[in-house]
Amino acid sequence: MSENNLKTHYSAKELLELSLNNLPNSVQAIIYQAKTKAWKSRKRTARGGGMEYEFKSLPREIQAEIILKLAQAQQSTEPTQKKNLNYLPDVVWKPWQTANERQKSVAQYRLTIVKAIAALKATGLTSQKAIALVANEYNESAGTIKRWFYDVQAFEPSDWLPLLLDKKYAKRRQGEAEFTEAAWEAFKADYLRNEKPSFNVCYYRLQRAAQEQGWTIPSSQTVKRKLEREVPLAQQIYLREGEHALSRLYPAMQRSVAEIEAMEWINGDGYQHNVFVKWHNGDIVRPKTWIWQDIRTRKILAYRTDLSENSDTIRLSLMDVIYKYGIPRKLTIDNTRAAANKWMTGGVKNRYRFKVKEDDVVGIIPLLGIELYWTSIQFGKGHGQAKPIERAFSHGGLGELVDKHPTLAGYHAGDNIYNKPDNYNGGKEGVDYGVFILALEDGIRAFNEKEGRETEICQGVYSFSQVFERDYANAHIRTASSEQLRLLMLMSEAVTLKKDGTFELNCGGKVHNRKNRYLATDLIASNHKKVIVKFDPSNLHGSVYVYSLAGAYLAEAICTEKVAFGDKAAGREHDKARKQFVKANKSAAKALQT
């Protein structure tokens, strides 16, 4: 084909049939463009009339596309003349066998460009003009594609593809031939294991093994590049850190909360403060606060602080939420021992902790008609991405707003064991409890009231409190009855009722191996063997209330033997202190034997 094979004029229909990227996709639109761009035209002499447009008056990019289209079509129908081969095709194609998919894709792209230049030259264009047209069409440097084109001219078109592989890649592959395969496998076996040995130590062991085995090994940097290239990062993390670390590479699901109402769904978690506080009993502790947060607006709704995460703080903080805002329809928590406690979640069939029995006390959450969701356990560990409240504990959250509050200066415990302030006191002194509570209140208020929050609902403009107040006014709220609030104030325990109407409660612990004993005179000689006792955990020496397993009220019982603790918290702390005492003396005794 020569340049003379190009037509001097094209009609709008002919241009449309060429399917050019730089032209509209209808005859009418092409005619409109021709008029607005003032293309030179003449009347068609063929049947149908109309106008046809001079090729040389068309924009340069359209001319280039037409030439490319016609040249490629002509080349595909013309037989190619075989050259006398002065090379071995097998040698030319050898690098292709070891190239990766990215390098093959780049070579395919270069081949398209080189073939386009060859097609244009076949029309009679000079090399310089053909290269210029293709460079403009593919937005590539003319010098670069000129080098690609001339690199393959001594070879058959059928062998061009491997010649267009990146030369740097080919040199790299040649260098890898100096790495004995057995040495490479030995290095991978040493480095890719759960103990996570350092790269430098593994390379040092490789050097020693190479001397003994007669292996050839490259430099440490070459080994590192080979490792990065041939063992994907995800596989390295799995082999060195395990399934859970690998799962964290997977991006968190972007859930929309637009369809959730305010107070429809809440989530909660406990936060361990990094500040030393002098507690009521004089102990220096790092308190733990249980926090409930609205999922739609991200506002912190309520919180309670104690020495540890326990069912009391969870229950009482939930009571605060319900008293202020109503009963949520759904609730998400971790499957911790405190949250999965039978007093809170008894009767929920998918509770993971503790054995689920048919005579379980029905917990507060299911009794209130709240649908409970546990955060998932993935690869043996909790899945923190599943709860929005986790983000309140991260950088810029409560750790900054509360633990580093100006009124708590001098008592910060540090973010971790490796990052402690210069004035760290090792827990020898603590800030007064009242000062800490005021700092906690101020920090949570600041968290809720900060404007410009980048969330789906706040849209980078509003604060958590502002959107909650706006959306809560339009939400369908379930208010709590006085009986439901009483449920939150009282706790439950399933006990065995004796024939004489007496029973013991475990929640008060033991003193001298004895428990608090109660008497329900109305239940003497009754047929009930197992009953549910509801009680105020802060007043275990007062009256308690007895219900059947079906939830029917039976009788009131009085404490006849006040031998154990009078409140549940005191019993819990006494038990904790006893365990610490036993552990310390056990360790000391073992030390004497060594």
294/377 same-domain check? yes
Q: Does any domain span residue 447?
A: yes
pLDDT tens per residue across span 518-538: 999 999 989 999 998 988 776
CATH number, domain with residue 521:
2.30.30.130
Q: b/e map of 365-397 (b: 16 or more CB within 10 Å)?
A: bbbbebebebbeebeeebbbbbbbbbebeeeeb
- pLDDT at position 441 is 97
Would strands 431-432 and 491-496 be described as parallel, antiparallel, or unpaired? Answer: unpaired
Name the DSSP class of 333: E
Question: Are residue 327 and residue 363 in the same domain, yes or no?
Answer: yes
pLDDT for 174 equals: 52
The per-residue pLDDT of the chain, averaged, comes to: 81
Q: Among 201, 217, 247, identify where a domain stops.
A: 247
Q: Which of 109-113, 516-520, 575-579 has the lowest mean pLDDT?
A: 575-579
pLDDT tens string 322-379: 999 999 999 988 876 655 565 555 555 555 444 544 444 457 788 788 888 877 544 3
Backbone angles phi, psi at 554, to 5 degrees: -115, -50
The alpha carbon of 546 is separated from its chain's Cα centroid by a whole number of angstroms, namely: 47
Higher pLDDT, 192 or 345: 192
CATH number for the domain spanning 152: value is 1.10.10.60
Q: Do residues 279 and 336 both lie within one domain?
A: yes
What is the reported pTM? 0.52
Domain presence at residue 527: yes
Q: Give the whole-angstrom CA distance, residue 583 versus residue 571.
A: 18
d(CA 546, CA 557): 7
Asked which of 153, 173, 193 is the last residue of a domain, the reply is 173
Q: Are residues 276 and 232 in the same domain?
A: no
In 10 A of CB 285, how many CB atoms?
18
Assigned domain for 535 exists = yes
- The predicted-structure confidence for 451-463, as pLDDT tens digits, reads as follows 999 999 999 999 9
Do 346 and 289 belong together in one domain?
Answer: yes
The proportion of the chain whose per-residue pLDDT surpasses 90, expressed as a percent, equals: 33
Strand partners, 266: 294, 331
Could you give the residue ranges of the DSSP H alpha helices within 400-533? 433-449, 464-472, 482-489
Mean pLDDT over 45-73 rounds to: 76
Q: Are residues 337 and 407 in the same domain?
A: yes
Mean per-residue pLDDT for 127-140?
85
Are residues 315 and 400 both part of a single domain? yes
In a domain, 125, yes or no: yes
Confidence band (pLDDT; 50, 70, 90) for 566?
A: very low
pLDDT band at 1 (very low <50, low <70, confident <90, very high): very low
Give me the number of domains the chain comprises.
5
| Among the ranges given (197-201, 370-374, 510-514), the one the predictor scored with the smallest mean pLDDT | 510-514
Q: Is residue 74 part of a domain?
A: no
Distance CA 148, CA 117 (A): 10
User: Looking at residue 278, which CATH number applies to its domain?
Assistant: 3.30.420.10
- 192 and 294 in a single domain? The answer is no
Same domain, 193 and 51: no
Per-residue pLDDT of 67-85, as tens digits, reads 777 766 655 554 455 556 6
d(CA 581, CA 316): 30
50 and 163 in a common domain: no
386 lies in the same domain as 507: no
Q: pLDDT tens, 9-32?
A: 888 888 888 878 778 888 888 888
pLDDT for residue 5: 59
Tokens of 114: 């080189």
Where among 173, 191, 226 does a domain terminate? 173
Residue 232 lies in domain: 178-247
Mean pLDDT of all residues in 51-71: 78
Whether the per-residue pLDDT at 175 is higher than 50: the answer is no
Q: How confident is the model at residue 127 (pLDDT cuts 50, 70, 90)?
A: confident
3-class SS letters over 157-192:
HHHHHHHCCCHHHHHHHHHHCCCCHHHHHHHHHHHC
**What is the three-class DSSP state of 564?**
coil
User: Residue 234's pLDDT band (boundaries 50, 70, 90)?
Assistant: confident
Per-residue pLDDT of 481-506, as tens digits, reads 877 777 676 777 889 999 999 999 88
Q: Is residue 483 part of a domain?
A: no
Q: Which of 12-26, 147-161, 232-246, 499-513 has the lowest mean pLDDT?
A: 499-513
d(CA 510, CA 144): 86
- The C-alpha torsion from 76 through 79 and 85 to 87, rounded to 10°, is 10
CA 327 to chain centre: 29
* 480 domain-assigned: no
Say how many C-beta atoms besides its own lie within 10 A of residue 583's C-beta: 10
Positive/negative CA dihedral, 582, 586, 587, 588: positive
Distance of CA 547 to the CA centre of its chain: 45
Q: Which residues contact 400 (CB under 8 A, 6 or more apart)?
A: none
Query: pLDDT above 70 covers what percent of the chain?
Result: 80
The CA angle 493-479-338, to the nearest 5 degrees, is 35
Q: How far is CA 323 from CA 320, 327, 369, in A?
A: 5, 8, 16
Q: Quick one: 316 and 241 in the same domain?
A: no
Whether residue 588 is contained in a domain is answered as: no
Residues forming beta bridges with residue 291, ordered by sequence position:
269, 303
